[in-house]
Amino acid sequence: MSVTVRVPAKVNVQLAVGAARPDGFHDLANVFLAVGLYDEVTVTPAAELKITCSGPDAHQVPLDASNLAARAAIALAARHGLAPDVHIHIAKDIPVAGGMAGGSADGAGALLACDTLWGTGASRTELLEICAELGSDVPFSLLGGAALGTGRGELLEPLPVGGSFHWVFALADGGLSTPAVYGEFDRLTAGTDVPAPAAKPELLAALRAGDATALAASVVNDLQPAALSLFPALARTLAVGSAAGALASLVSGSGPTTAFLAKSAESAEEVASALLASGTCRAVRVTSGPAPGATVVAPAV
Ligand SMILES: C[C@](O)(CO)[C@H](O)COP(=O)(O)OP(=O)(O)OC[C@H]1O[C@@H](n2ccc(N)nc2=O)[C@H](O)[C@@H]1O
Ligand SMILES: Nc1ncnc2c1ncn2[C@@H]1O[C@H](COP(=O)(O)OP(=O)(O)OP(=O)(O)O)[C@@H](O)[C@H]1O
């Protein structure tokens, strides 16, 4: 008896970052778009909590209680007076420490999988509450689609999207630590007046219309200068994608994955080939978004 949940990666089409708050987090206007790269989380009853991981980046994933999937199982079990005795297997396809919310995806996936396996019947509200305790990106991993995240990114308002967008992702050699990138943002903006973050109306309209050209004209990531400062080689990857015809080239979230919005599936393939041929990234992925949020794919039998 086991339950498998599929969970998407995300790209931030707008990431507006405010000044650091007293609690160390930053207020955001975070426009999330789920894209079709997925991790699959399978939970099976076991004598004790155990985690395994497969996939090309598996060796970088912690297999102890610090794994967000383990933390999710423990949090749900504690709320319902259960023992978190499950084997969690993560089939990992989302790049690790890549700015695509891979760990968050596993947290949301394990939560939904354990809820289904244990029959805890937690409401959507309770699941989202636990997600927010696990991390700022985790609620969106559960929800999927597109959403505006405010607060530290955990307060979600689903957004309408009028079509599918073609994306290419270039995976970098190495990762970036999210706190380090926010720290670099603070260093780069020290002494300046950081405006309160706000979603751009023209960007929300472009999403609503499914208009890739209009979306490309308005994407913006306030963490990009910080990511480039810590990982300067990313500038070359961005330039290659733009020269190959991408409508927009940007750092995905805290990086170092770079994201390229293409006008068509054919153009996306051309951008991907140029990126690979340039030698400025370790791998490329072609996909589209929005993608659905965490979904049970193989229920308990
Ligand atoms: C960069 C993004 O991926 C964009 O969606 C997120 O803002 C990061 O979300 P996350 O990885 O879920 O981050 P969390 O696990 O909640 O926080 C990790 C660390 O990132 C920094 N952090 C995160 C979110 C936020 N709004 N402000 C922050 O300053 C803090 O240093 C925090 O200690
Ligand atoms: N299930 C998990 N998968 C990957 N990393 C995990 C997981 N649980 C905990 N981690 C830890 O979290 C760190 C960040 O990994 P993750 O892949 O979530 O980064 P990210 O995609 O850049 O995050 P975000 O986009 O949400 O800022 C890893 O280096 C690892 O130590």
In a 3-state reduction of DSSP, which class is residue 188? Answer: helix
- Tens-level pLDDT at each residue, the chain (301 residues): 899 999 999 999 999 999 999 999 999 999 999 999 999 999 999 999 999 999 999 999 999 999 999 999 999 999 999 999 999 999 999 999 899 999 999 999 999 999 999 999 999 999 999 999 999 999 999 999 999 999 999 999 999 999 999 999 999 998 999 999 999 999 999 999 999 999 999 999 999 999 999 999 999 999 999 999 999 999 999 999 999 999 999 999 999 999 999 999 999 999 999 999 999 999 999 999 999 999 999 665 6
In a 3-state reduction of DSSP, which class is residue 187? Answer: helix
Among all chains, which residue has been given the structure tokens 């420490």? 97
Check whether 103 is labelled as a binding-site residue: yes
Strands of the chain, DSSP E:
3-20, 26-45, 50-54, 86-91, 146-150, 155-158, 165-171, 220-221, 248-251, 258-262, 283-289, 295-298
Ligand nearest to the CA of 155: 1
Pocket probe for ligand 2: among 10, 13, 42, 61, the residue whose CB has the most ligand atoms within 8 Å is 61
Is the CB of residue 151 less than 8 Å from the CB of residue 121?
no
In a 3-state reduction of DSSP, which class is residue 24? Answer: coil
What ipTM is given for this predicted complex?
0.97
Determine whether 137 is an active site residue: yes
CB of 12 within 6 A of ligand 1: the answer is: yes
pTM above 0.95, yes or no: yes
Assign residue 92 a region (left: φ > 0; alpha: ψ between -120 and 50; beta: otherwise): beta
> What confidence score (pLDDT) does residue 61 get?
97
Pocket probe for ligand 2: among 40, 63, 178, the residue whose CB has the most ligand atoms within 8 Å is 178
Tokens of 20: 């650091």
Q: Cα-flanking dihedrals φ and ψ of residue 243, to 5°?
A: -65, -30
Among all chains, which residue has been given the structure tokens 């999937």? 69
Domains of the chain: 3-159 (3.30.230.10), 165-289 (3.30.70.890)
Buried b (16+ CB within 10 A) or exposed e, 90-125: bbbbbbbbbbbbbbbbbbbbbbbbbbbbbebebeee
> What confidence score (pLDDT) does residue 104 get?
98
CB of 67 within 6 A of ligand 2: the answer is: yes
Ligand nearest to the CA of 102: 2
